[in-house]
C-alpha cells in the first residue's frame, strides 16, 4: 500500500463512520444528541480525515459522566455489551462499551506477529492488569486465535499508584514480588511460549528466572512508555537477545499501535508505533494549537481518533507526547516515536508503575 | 580537551547508555561532559551479580590491597589517567579544571580536597588499623584468627558498599576509599555535576593493580538511586534531617546528614577568647563551609558580642573571587537556585527577631552575590539572643555560624546532636561531662578546628563495623 492509497482508505473510512455514527438508525444517543446541539451534520461536512479537526477534542470524562447506554449505537441496541475500564485510581473509572472490537484489533495484530517467535499453538501467559480491562479478554483472544491457551496473573495498578502516591515503595516492591511469585511458578511449571506483560514486570520476572531459558520465545509488551535505553535493556539483557521483544502502544480506547521489532536494533532501540489504521489514527499535534500537525521529527502531543462501528472518538488528546515519524514500507502512514508522558520534561508524572 | 563521555561502569566494564545527558560548564551552554545514565532495572540486575566483584577482590590479600591503595593515591595525585571512552587522558590539572567547571568550586579548594583525598590513600594502613582496633589483616584473609589474645572471626555483611554521592563535595569520596582494602567492592552513584572525582579515583585504583570488577559507577536518576538504596547490602548516602529520620532503623543504610558541629569555650578559658578566633574562623569557613564538620554554632559563656564581631570581621575577608584565583576560598553554587533558597532562609530567620547579621557591617555588598555567571553567598555570622532563635542551630552550604551565649553548666543540655564538638577548656569535671555526652559524635578537647578530623577513628559510624560482622566460631580436630 502506498501513502496515497492509505490516505484514500482512511478518507473512505471517515465517510463510512460519519454515515454510521450520525444516522438515526445506527448512531448512538450520545453522538446523535451532540449533532443536534451543535447544529451541523458531520455527514455533510466531514468528508476526509483532514476534516476531523471540525470536531472538538473528545473528553474522556464523558466516558465517566455519561451512562454507558448512551454510547450504544442503535445498530447494536438490545445486544449486551462488555464494559471495559480505564483509569480509576480514585472515584468512578472511565468506561467504554464494546462487542467485537477487541477481537478485530487483536486478530489484526496477530497477523503482524512472527510465527517463529510467537509460534502457532503455543500457550501464553499474561502478567498485568486483568479485572475490568479490555486487555484481559484481548490477550486471551489473541492466544486462542493463534491456537493456544492463556494463563493469567493479575496486578491491580490502581493500588500500586496509591502506594506510590503515599511513597510506600517497600509495599510496591512487596506487591510486585507477590505478583512475580505467581508468574514464575506458572512459567516454570507450564509449557509457555509467549508472554504479554508490562516492561517493568518483564524486567522483574527476568530478575528471578531466565525468561528465554524457560521456553518463552516472544514477548509482547505494552502499558507504559519506554526510553530507547530501556528497550535495549529489555531486549539484550532481560530477554538475553534470544526471545523477540515486541513493544506496542495502546489502550482501551484505541486498540494496538504496533512497532517493527526486527528493526529495533538498527534504530538504536528508538521505537516507532503505527496505529491500526483505518480503525484508529494517531496524529502528533502542536499542544498549544492542536489543529496543527507537527512536522516530521518534532515532538508533539499524541491525538487519537478511533473510527470503529462500535465506538467513535474524535481527537482525544492522550497523556503522552511523541515524535512524528514518516510512514514505513510496512505501514504507509505516520508513526509516533519515542513516546513519553506529556510534560515529562516539565512536570512530575506517575507513570510506569507496573 | 573536548567534553568526555563518562560511561556507566558495570563491575569495571564500560557501558555506553543510549540515555545520555550533557552537563554544561557552569554559566555557559558549553558541554563539560556527556554522561551515560543507567536505568533502575539495570542496576537491580547488576546487584545480583556483585558476588563476583567481591570474589575478584578476595583473590588479593588485605596487605596487597593496602599496597594498591597507597599506590593509587600517588597515581590519583600525579598521573595522567583515562577519562571517558575515547582514550583521552586527564592530567591532575585537567581534573581540577573539569571539576571547577561543573561544580563551581574554586581551584584552590579542589587542590586542597585532592590533597585531603591523597592523605586517605596514603594513610590507609593507619585507617585500617584504627577502624579495626589493630586487627591483624590476615584475619580477614583467612576468615579467623586472634585479636588481643581472643579468637575472632569476621564475615562481610554485604557484597557491595553502595554510595550515593553528592555534587558539592569531592572530599566525601574519602568515606568509601578504605572499602577496597577491606575487600568490599563499591557501587557509586555520582552527583550529576561531579562524576570527575569518583571516576578519577577508580582509574587510579585500576592503574595501581586493583581488579576493575571492584568498581561500579552508575550515573542515574531518582528511581535508580531508589533501587540502590532499597536493594544494596550496605548503603551510604547524604541528606538532611528528614533523610536521616527516614532510614534511622535500617541497619543497611548509613546516612551522613547535617553535622550541627559546634565550637564551645569553657568558663575557664573565656577570658582568652581572642586566642581562639583563628581556629573558629577556620572551623566555620574551611571547604567553603560545606562540610558537616564545619562549625555552625559557637557557644560561649560571655563576650558573645565581642566574639561575634571578631569572627565576622575575619569571615568578611573571604570574598567571591575568580575560580582560578589562588586565594579563592568561597565556592559558587552549581545549582543557582540553592543560593537563593538559602539566602531566603537566612533572611526569614533574621526577620523573626532576636538575631543580628554581624557580618553585614564588614562585608562588601549583600550576602547574595553574583559573579562570573555564578551565584555566591558571602560568609555570614549571626549573633543570636538564645538557643531558641531559629538560626541558633542551623547549617547551610556556605560559611555560616551563629554565636550564642550560654552558661557552661547548661551548654551540654542545649547543644543537641553535634557531629563534632571542639571544647576549649582545662576543666576536668566539664571534660568528663563532655566525654559522657551521648549526642556528641566526635570530640576535640582544646584548640582544634572542628574540620580537622582523623580518619582512623569512626566518622558517623565505623566503616569496618558497617561492612563486617563478628561471628562466633570453633574449630575442632577431626578424629
The answer to whether residue B454 sits within a structural domain is: no
Co-location of B36 and B111 in the same domain: yes
> Does the pLDDT value for residue A205 go beyond 50?
yes
Co-location of B205 and B170 in the same domain: yes
H/E stretch holding B377 reads strand B374-377
Nearest to B264 by CA among B433, B439, B423: B423
Residue to substitute from A168, A202, A206, A207, interface B, most B β-carbons within 10 A: A207
Interface touch B230/A227, C-beta < 8 Å: no
How far is A180 from A201, CA to CA, in rounded Å?
A: 8
Co-location of B202 and B329 in the same domain: no
Co-location of B300 and B376 in the same domain: yes
Co-location of B325 and B369 in the same domain: yes
pLDDT tens readout for residues B292-333:
999 999 999 999 999 999 999 999 999 999 999 999 999 998
B18 vs chain A: nearest CA distance in angstroms? 5
B197 vs chain A: nearest CA distance in angstroms? 26
How far is B335 from B191, CA to CA, in rounded Å?
A: 12
Co-location of B283 and B221 in the same domain: no
> Does the pLDDT value for residue B141 go beyond 90?
yes
What count of Cα atoms within 13 Å lies in the side-chain half-sphere of residue B369? 21
- pTM for this predicted structure: 0.89
The alpha helices in A284-351, defined as continuous H runs, are none
Interface touch B19/A228, C-beta < 8 Å: yes
Q: Residue A122: how many CB atoms within 10 A of its CB?
A: 21
Co-location of B156 and B19 in the same domain: yes
Co-location of B310 and B199 in the same domain: no
> Does the pLDDT value for residue A146 go beyond 90?
yes
pLDDT score at A350? 41
- Residue B27 CA, chain-centre distance (Å), reads 26
SS3 assignment for B165-190: CCCCCHHHHHHCHHHHHCCCCEEEEC
Nearest to B16 by CA among B24, B4, B30: B4
Residues from chain B that touch A169, judged by Cβ atoms under 8 A, are 226, 230
Interface touch B18/A268, C-beta < 8 Å: yes
Co-location of B203 and B292 in the same domain: no
Interface touch B39/A200, C-beta < 8 Å: no
Query: If you average pLDDT over residues A297-319, what whole number do you get?
Result: 96
What is the CATH number that goes with domain A101-273? 3.40.50.980
Residues from chain A that touch B45, judged by Cβ atoms under 8 A, are 203, 206-207, 237-238
The alpha helices in chain A, defined as continuous H runs, are 3-21, 29-38, 42-45, 62-65, 101-110, 134-145, 157-165, 169-189, 199-208, 228-232
In chain A, CATH 3.40.50.980 covers: 101-273
**Domain holding B194: CATH number?**
3.40.605.10
pLDDT score at A224? 75
Q: Is A232's Cβ below 8 Å from some Cβ in B? A: yes
Task: pLDDT band for B1, please (50, 70, 90 cuts).
Answer: low
The answer to whether residue B479 sits within a structural domain is: no
Number of domains, chain B: 2
Interface touch A228/B18, C-beta < 8 Å: yes
How far is B415 from B469, CA to CA, in rounded Å?
A: 33
Interface touch A233/B37, C-beta < 8 Å: no
> Does the pLDDT value for residue B177 go beyond 70?
yes
Interface touch A229/B17, C-beta < 8 Å: yes
Question: Could you give the strand order of the β-sheet that contains B418-424, starting from the edge strand earlier in sequence?
Answer: B355-357, B380-384, B400-405, B295-300, B261-265, B418-424, B440-445
Of A133-137, B243-247, B273-277, give the range with the top mean pLDDT: B273-277
B221 vs chain A: nearest CA distance in angstroms? 13
Q: Classify residue A289 by burial, with Cβ atoms within 10 Å: 0-12, 13-18, 19+.
A: exposed
pLDDT score at A345? 58
pLDDT score at B104? 86
Query: CA A205 → CA A28, A183, A201, B50, distances in Å?
Result: 44, 8, 6, 19
Q: Domain of B324?
A: 261-445
pLDDT score at B18? 97
The answer to whether residue B451 sits within a structural domain is: no
How far is B412 from B408, CA to CA, in rounded Å?
A: 8
The answer to whether residue B477 sits within a structural domain is: no
Chains A & B: contacts with CB separation below 8 Å:
35
Query: CA B312 → CA B236, B284, B386, B399, distances in Å?
Result: 35, 11, 18, 11
The alpha helices in B59-133, defined as continuous H runs, are 62-78, 92-103, 107-122, 124-132
Nearest to B176 by CA among B191, B162, B196, B158: B162
**Domain holding B347: CATH number?**
3.40.309.10
Co-location of B51 and B15 in the same domain: yes
pLDDT score at B454? 81
> Does the pLDDT value for residue A102 go beyond 50?
yes
pLDDT tens readout for residues A313-354:
999 999 999 999 999 999 999 999 999 998 865 544 343 444
The answer to whether residue B301 sits within a structural domain is: yes
Percent of chain A with pLDDT over 90: 85
How far is B344 from A169, CA to CA, in rounded Å?
A: 33
> Chain A residue with minimal CA distance to B223?
A169
Amino acid at each position: 500500500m502506498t501513502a496515497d492509497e492509505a490516505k484514500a482508505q482512511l478518507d473512505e473510512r471517515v465517510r463510512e463512520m460519519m454515515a454510521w455514527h450520525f444516522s438515526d438508525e445506527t448512531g448512538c444517543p450520545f453522538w446523535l444528541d451532540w449533532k443536534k446541539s451543535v447544529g451541523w451534520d458531520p455527514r455533510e461536512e466531514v468528508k476526509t480525515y483532514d476534516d476531523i479537526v471540525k470536531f472538538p477534542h473528545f473528553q474522556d470524562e464523558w466516558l465517566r459522566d455519561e451512562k454507558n447506554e448512551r454510547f450504544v449505537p442503535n445498530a447494536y441496541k438490545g445486544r449486551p455489551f462488555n464494559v471495559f475500564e480505564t483509569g480509576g485510581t480514585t472515584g468512578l473509572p472511565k468506561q467504554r462499551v464494546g462487542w467485537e472490537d477487541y477481537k478485530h484489533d487483536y486478530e489484526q495484530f496477530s497477523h503482524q506477529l512472527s510465527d517463529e517467535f510467537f509460534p502457532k499453538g503455543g500457550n501464553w501467559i499474561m502478567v498485568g492488569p486483568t479485572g475490568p480491562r479490555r486487555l484481559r479478554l484481548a490477550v486471551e483472544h489473541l492466544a486462542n486465535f493463534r491456537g493456544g491457551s492463556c494463563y493469567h496473573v493479575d496486578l491491580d495498578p490502581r493500588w500500586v499508584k496509591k502506594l506510590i502516591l503515599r511513597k510506600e515503595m517497600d509495599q510496591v516492591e512487596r506487591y510486585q514480588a507477590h505478583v512475580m511469585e505467581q508468574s514464575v511458578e506458572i512459567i516454570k511449571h507450564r509449557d509457555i511460549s509467549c508472554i504479554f506483560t508490562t516492561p517493568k514486570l518483564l524486567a522483574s520476572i527476568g530478575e528471578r528466572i531466565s525468561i528465554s531459558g524457560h521456553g518463552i520465545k516472544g514477548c509482547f509488551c505494552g502499558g507504559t512508555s519506554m526510553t530507547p535505553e530501556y528497550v535495549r535493556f529489555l531486549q539484550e539483557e532481560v530477554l538475553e537477545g534470544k526471545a523477540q521483544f515486541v513493544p506496542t502502544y495502546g489502550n482501551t480506547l484505541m486498540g494496538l499501535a504496533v512497532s517493527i521489532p526486527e528493526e529495533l536494533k538498527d534504530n538504536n532501540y528508538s521505537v516507532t508505533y503505527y496505529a491500526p489504521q483505518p480503525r484508529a489514527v494517531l496524529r502528533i499535534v502542536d499542544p498549544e494549537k492542536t489543529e496543527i500537525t507537527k512536522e516530521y521529527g518534532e515532538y508533539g502531543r499524541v491525538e487519537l481518533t478511533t473510527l470503529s462501528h462500535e465506538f467513535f472518538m474524535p481527537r482525544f488528546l492522550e497523556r503522552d507526547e511523541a515524535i512524528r515519524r514518516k510512514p514505513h514500507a510496512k505501514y504507509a502512514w505516520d508513526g509516533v516515536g519515542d513516546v513519553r508522558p506529556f510534560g515529562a520534561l516539565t512536570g512530575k508524572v506517575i507513570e510506569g508503575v507496573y | 580537551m573536548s567534553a568526555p563521555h563518562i560511561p556507566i561502569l558495570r563491575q569495571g566494564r564500560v557501558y555506553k547508555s543510549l540515555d545520555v545527558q550533557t552537563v554544561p560548564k557552569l554559566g555557559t551552554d558549553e558541554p563539560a561532559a556527556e554522561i551515560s545514565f543507567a536505568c533502575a532495572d539495570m542496576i537491580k540486575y547488576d546487584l545480583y551479580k556483585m558476588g563476583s566483584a567481591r570474589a575478584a577482590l578476595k583473590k588479593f590479600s588485605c596487605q596487597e590491597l593496602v599496597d594498591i591503595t597507597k599506590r593509587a593515591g600517588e597515581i590519583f595525585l600525579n598521573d595522567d589517567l583515562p577519562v571517558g571512552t575515547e582514550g583521552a587522558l586527564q592530567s591532575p590539572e585537567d581534573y581540577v579544571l573539569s571539576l571547577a567547571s561543573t561544580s563551581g568550586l574554586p581551584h584552590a579548594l579542589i587542590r586542597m580536597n585532592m590533597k585531603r583525598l591523597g592523605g586517605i590513600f596514603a594513610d590507609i594502613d593507619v585507617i585500617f588499623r584504627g577502624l579495626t582496633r589493630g586487627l591483624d589483616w590476615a584475619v580477614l584473609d583467612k576468615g579467623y584468627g586472634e585479636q588481643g589474645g581472643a579468637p575472632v572471626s569476621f564475615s562481610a555483611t554485604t557484597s557491595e558498599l553502595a554510595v550515593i554521592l553528592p555534587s558539592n563535595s569531592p572530599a566525601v569520596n574519602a568515606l568509601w576509599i578504605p572499602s577496597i582494602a577491606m575487600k568490599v567492592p563499591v557501587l557509586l552513584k555520582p552527583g550529576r555535576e561531579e562524576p570527575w572525582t569518583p571516576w578519577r579515583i577508580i582509574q587510579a585504583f585500576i592503574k595501581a593493580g586493583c581488579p576493575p570488577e571492584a568498581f561500579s559507577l552508575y550515573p542515574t536518576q531518582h528511581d535508580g538511586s531508589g533501587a540502590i538504596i532499597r536493594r544494596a547490602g550496605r548503603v551510604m548516602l547524604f541528606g538532611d534531617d528528614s533523610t536521616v529520620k527516614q532510614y534511622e532503623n535500617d541497619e543497611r543504610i548509613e546516612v551522613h546528614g547535617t553535622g550541627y558541629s559546634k565550637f564551645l569555650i569553657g568558663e575557664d578559658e573565656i577570658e582568652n577568647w581572642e586566642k581562639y578566633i583563628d581556629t573558629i574562623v577556620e572551623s566555620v569557613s574551611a571547604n567553603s563551609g560545606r562540610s558537616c564538620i564545619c562549625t555552625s554554632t559557637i557557644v560561649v559563656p560571655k563576650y558573645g558580642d565581642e566574639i561575634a564581631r571578631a569572627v565576622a570581621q575575619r569571615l568578611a575577608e573571604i570574598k567571591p573571587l575568580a575560580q582560578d584565583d589562588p586565594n579563592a576560598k568561597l565556592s559558587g553554587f552549581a545549582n543557582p537556585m540553592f543560593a537563593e533558597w538559602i539566602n531566603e532562609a537566612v533572611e526569614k530567620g533574621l526577620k523573626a527577631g532576636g538575631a543580628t547579621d554581624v557580618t553585614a557591617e564588614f562585608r562588601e555588598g549583600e550576602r547574595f552575590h553574583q559573579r562570573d555567571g555564578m551565584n555566591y553567598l558571602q560568609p555570614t555570622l549571626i549573633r543570636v539572643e538564645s538557643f531558641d532563635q531559629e538560626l541558633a542551630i542551623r547549617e547551610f552550604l556556605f560559611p555560616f555560624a551563629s554565636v550564642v551565649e550560654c552558661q557552661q553548666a547548661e551548654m551540654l543540655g542545649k547543644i543537641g546532636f553535634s557531629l563534632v564538638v571542639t571544647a576549649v577548656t582545662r576543666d576536668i569535671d566539664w571534660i568528663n561531662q563532655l566525654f559522657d555526652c551521648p549526642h556528641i559524635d566526635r570530640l576535640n578537647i582544646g584548640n582544634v578546628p572542628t574540620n580537622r578530623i582523623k580518619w582512623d577513628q569512626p566518622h558517623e559510624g565505623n566503616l569496618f563495623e558497617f561492612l563486617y560482622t563478628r561471628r562466633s566460631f570453633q574449630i575442632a580436630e577431626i578424629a
